[in-house]
Amino acid sequence: MQEVLSVRGVSKAYPGVTALRDVSFSVRQGEIRAVCGENGAGKSTLVKILMGIVQPDSGAIVINGRGESVRDPLEAQSRGLGLVAQELSLAPHLSILDNIWLGCRDVPLLLHRRRQFRTRAKEALSMLGLVDWDLDRPVGSLTVAQRQLVEIARLLARDARVLILDEPTATLSDADIERILGILKRLAAQGRSIVYITHRLGEVFELCETVTVLRNGQHVATRPVTEVMREQLVALMLGRPFEEMYPNAAVRAADGIRVVVEDLNVPDTLYGFSMVAPRGRIVCIAGQIGSGANVVTRALAGLVPSARGRVSVDGSALRLGSVPHCVARNVLFVSDDRGAEGLFPQLTVLDNLVASRLGAATRFGVLSWRVLRRQAERLAARVGVDRERLASPALTLSGGNQQKLLFGRALASAEAGVLLMNEPTRGIDVGARAEIYQIMRELCDRGAALIMTSSDLEEVVGLADIVITLYRGRMVARYEGEEISMSSILADITHPLEAVA
């Protein structure tokens, strides 16, 4: 197969940091190429250069034998490149048809050829097996997975020959992921090339033929997927052995029960859920999107007003539906949506670290800047955030460092409590994950109880002390220690052998 895309000696530097250094690799027609690396490895900069969003300092992008930089996104379109970004770029109030053609260089000022564009949009959807979709339906009425398909149809309608997908399955259920991966395989069989950027290593081995690894802005390796083991791939990305990914499980006996949940119900979502969470343990509630797993943690954090049931922390009742009461009891929540529910993105790193503990730095109604600075420096050091970045806006940090801010905020309390987490490492590279796992174990060592949800089964098996599986809002099974296995969890959350009453 001929090369359709070649990156040759591309370098890009910003003030104080080299994002890419002499990166070279090529992609053949019909190939699915994974691009992996930690946050900060240079993946985002590479995508921006491929799409003409930024210009390299040196090197060339060769597309179908033409070697030059891509000047802007419209030129990228004209040369057959298309991007499905991690943050979807759809306009929810516009129709599927309008979103498919939104931003296309071929659309004239006056849509006198609307019938032609409608036909081409239908043809693009039919390539994805979506022949019965109503083109006039508003995109805002679609599920997240359906919106991903509209993004892909947008590229097909413009006859993109190289599709670049950045974390396309980060927010999808297992069934939706399988559908997306199946579609991508069909598109590759038709001769389209796919550059697939992901932190989900399982997808690399299921979908891709080859994998390119970037680390610290440099090309480390490009290998056939069949010739590299998962452990080797992680080691290439991290620059250290795979065994260092997950910290050792808890070794000392659990120091009593911290959380007791009895008969927790949320209308049409969760039915009669009960569990206990010991001090010093990580409890993972595993289930697909829609199983109700993330509703459990949100309810325990006081974020679900309709939740009913009995919950106690250290023997005292916890009031459901009251966030202030939960925070006062040191029951804290880390959302899977950092931007909307976790961070204050425009505020500084310092402000984010100490946001929930201002009272500790206040005396006679006066806030002490010196005390706040000292607290923030201590917390930044504990979670591995550069103290030189304390004055930087939180939005300028990588996803992994942003997540560390949320954990730093949880560590700010001198008293070990309960930390509730939904998908704590979503969209985070393996290096930052390893650091966050260490932070979680540190919290356990201090006597905290950690209750989390995760759709990454490798993470569940590698990290959890106790696993509780959910299917359609009902508990299926509980596993502890050596009982935990990926096969049992997968069976429980996809199609339990026994009907759940």
pTM above 0.75, yes or no: no
Single-letter amino acid code for the residue at 39: N
Hey, do 3-243 and 245-330+415-501 end up sharing a CATH topology, with the first three levels equal?
Answer: yes
Contacts of residue 344, Cβ cutoff 8 Å, sequence gap at least 6: 351, 352, 355, 394
pLDDT digits (tens, 9 = 90+) for 410-434: 776 656 789 999 988 876 666 777 8
pLDDT at 495 (0 to 100): 62
Ramachandran class of 29: left when φ > 0, alpha when ψ lies in -120 to 50, beta otherwise: beta
Structural fold of domain 245-330+415-501: Rossmann fold (3.40.50)
**CATH number of this structure's domain 3-243:** 3.40.50.300
> Which residues on neighbouring strands pair with residue 32, listed in sequence order?
194
Measured CA to CA, the distance from residue 17 to residue 397 in angstroms comes to 13
Domain ranges of the chain: 3-243, 245-330+415-501, 346-412
pLDDT at 498 (0 to 100): 47
Contacts of residue 65, Cβ cutoff 8 Å, sequence gap at least 6: none
N-terminal to C-terminal alpha carbon distance within the chain: 54
- CA distances from residue 47 to 10, 20, 56 in whole angstroms, order as listed: 12, 11, 11
Q: Using the structure block, give the residue that is written with the tokens 């010991």.
A: 278
Q: Does residue 249 sit in helix, strand or coil?
A: coil
Measured CA to CA, the distance from residue 449 to residue 224 in angstroms comes to 42
* Largest CA-CA distance found in the chain, in angstroms, rounded: 74
pLDDT at 96 (0 to 100): 93
Q: What is the separation of C-alpha 56 from the centre of its chain, rounded to a whole number of angstroms?
A: 27
Single-letter amino acid code for the residue at 23: V
Measured CA to CA, the distance from residue 429 to residue 23 in angstroms comes to 20
- The secondary structure of residue 303, as a DSSP letter, is -
Ramachandran class of 377: left when φ > 0, alpha when ψ lies in -120 to 50, beta otherwise: alpha
pLDDT at 496 (0 to 100): 62
Q: How many CB atoms lie within 10 A of CB 328?
A: 10
pLDDT at 250 (0 to 100): 67
Q: What is the pLDDT along the chain (501 residues), one digit of tens a residue?
A: 689 999 999 999 887 678 899 999 999 999 999 999 876 688 889 999 999 999 999 999 999 887 777 888 888 888 889 998 877 788 989 999 999 988 787 765 555 567 788 888 999 998 888 888 999 999 999 888 888 889 889 888 888 899 999 888 876 777 778 888 999 999 999 999 999 998 778 889 999 999 999 988 899 999 999 999 888 888 888 776 666 678 877 666 667 899 999 999 999 999 999 999 999 999 999 987 778 999 999 999 999 999 999 999 999 999 999 999 998 898 988 887 776 777 888 888 888 887 777 777 677 777 777 877 888 888 888 777 888 888 888 888 877 788 888 877 877 665 678 999 998 887 666 677 788 888 888 888 888 899 999 877 778 888 999 999 998 899 999 999 889 988 888 788 876 654 444
Q: How many CB atoms lie within 10 A of CB 472?
A: 16
Q: Show the tokens assigned to 246.
A: 């997950």
